[in-house]
Amino acid sequence: MTIDMRDLGRIGFTEDQATLLDLATDFCLRRSPISTVRRLMEDEMGHDPAIWQEMGELGWLGVAIPEAFGGSGLSLAEVVPLVEQMGRRLMAGPFVSTTLAAQAILVAGTEDQRRTVLPRIAEGVPASLALAEAEGNWDLEAVTCLAKAAGPGRLTLSGTKVLVGDAHVAQWFVVSVLYEGHPALVLVPASALPDGAMRREGIIDETRRAFRLCLDGVDLPDSALMDPALAQTGLRHLHLAGNLLGAAEMVGGTQACVDYTIDYLKTRTQFGKLIGSYQAVKHPTVEAYVAYEQARSHLYSAAHCFAEQGTGEIATRMAKAQADAAYSFAADRAIQFHGGFGFTWDCDAQLYRRGAIWHAAQYGDGAYHKRKLVSLLF
């Protein structure tokens, strides 16, 4: 057993990460107060286009896009603090969908696709991913939607994608399909989708927008096919990147949830004492806080080691699994420790709990990642 030789990851933090963390902490606090979050939940669009535009102007959409394609040439390690702070403020919008779509194009797109689409994304044009199917397999290579040659130079698609984030605003979709019997990726412009192809889904986290996407009859030039030789690499990269950014949102959310609970424990009085003085309430809150610190440590290790062969995958899976455990526990206890108010729509505890459930369902929950770690480590 050579396990003790395995590098499970380590903390590293760049100047750029520090700068972006500062900026994002301030920006998200100001632009996404809870009143805005709740207003946008009721809004069909679900996010504020003016804020989205600001993010584009700040260059946040291009952080992990190479300079040659209009980005700033950093990596996902620098995106993590941005997403963490968005998660902390439950900030709505297509930032993660768009960032992941750009990653897919960067890793598995053709040169032409990179040159035409990445600079647009870097400027702030939203894009998304259509990967999940009704079957619900977190292994992204298990695809049933089809792309078939349809006459010279054309492709047609069939099948249905689910839980497609921000489809109502995305201008491009990176879609996983089977092509000639193998998983492949196709870059579909929104303009190629027939009327009625999209239906908004009822999802547990109402700060988000997700759609069912029917691909039947989508007709494309075969230049829409991404590099088939890179499809598998691309899907693996998306799986890990999706988990990394998911963990970042969750860690931010966990922090906010713990803070929200602590505030209540310091103001609510029962039996003549602040409820935070009762250990039956205090100690689980400490447990939630400690789990949060552990999750954040895993997150920044995963961010730092993400690009490393082997270690990147281990650290990312650990980060997502720990984020799932920490967020679920903190938000579950947050509901309980708010008493009757915790059972209401108006209490923010439900927002955090719903967010945690949403994220567990995306790209794999804690149990799934632990199972994967078993095969990686034992």
The contact set with other proteins (CB under 8 A) reads 1, 3-4, 8-11, 13, 18, 21-22, 255, 258, 262, 265-266, 273-274, 276-279, 282-283, 285-287, 289-290, 293-298, 300-301, 318, 321-322, 367, 370-371, 373-374, 377-378
Q: CA nearest 112: which of 233, 226, 188?
A: 226
Q: What is the 3-state secondary structure (H, E, C) of 88-114?
A: HCCCCCCHHHHHHHHHHHHHHCCHHHH
Q: For residues 10 and 115, which CB has a smaller minimum distance to other proteins in the complex? A: 10
Minimum Å distance from CB 132 to other proteins?
25
Give the nearest distance from C-beta 270 to other proteins in angstroms: 12
> b/e map of 97-135 (b: 16 or more CB within 10 Å)?
bbbbbbbbbbbbbbeebbeebbbbbbebbbbbbbbbbee
Q: How far is the CB of 271 from other proteins (least distance, A)?
A: 13
Collapsed DSSP state (helix, strand, coil) of residue 134: coil
CB of 312 to other proteins, least distance (A): 14
Decide whether 112 or 263 has the Cβ nearer to other proteins. Answer: 263
Q: Which is nearer to other proteins, 78 or 166 (CB)?
A: 78
Q: Tell me the C-alpha distance between 18 and 144, whole Å.
A: 42
Q: Nearest distance from residue 36's CB to other proteins, in Å? A: 22
Closest separation in Å from C-beta 326 to other proteins: 10
Nearer to other proteins, 122 or 318 (CB): 318
**Residue 8: Cβ within 10 Å count:** 16
Nearer to other proteins, 133 or 293 (CB): 293
Between CA 10 and CA 141 the distance in angstroms is 29
Spatial separation of the C-alpha atoms in residues 191 and 194, rounded to whole Å: 8
Closer residue to other proteins, CB minimum distance, 229 or 286? 286
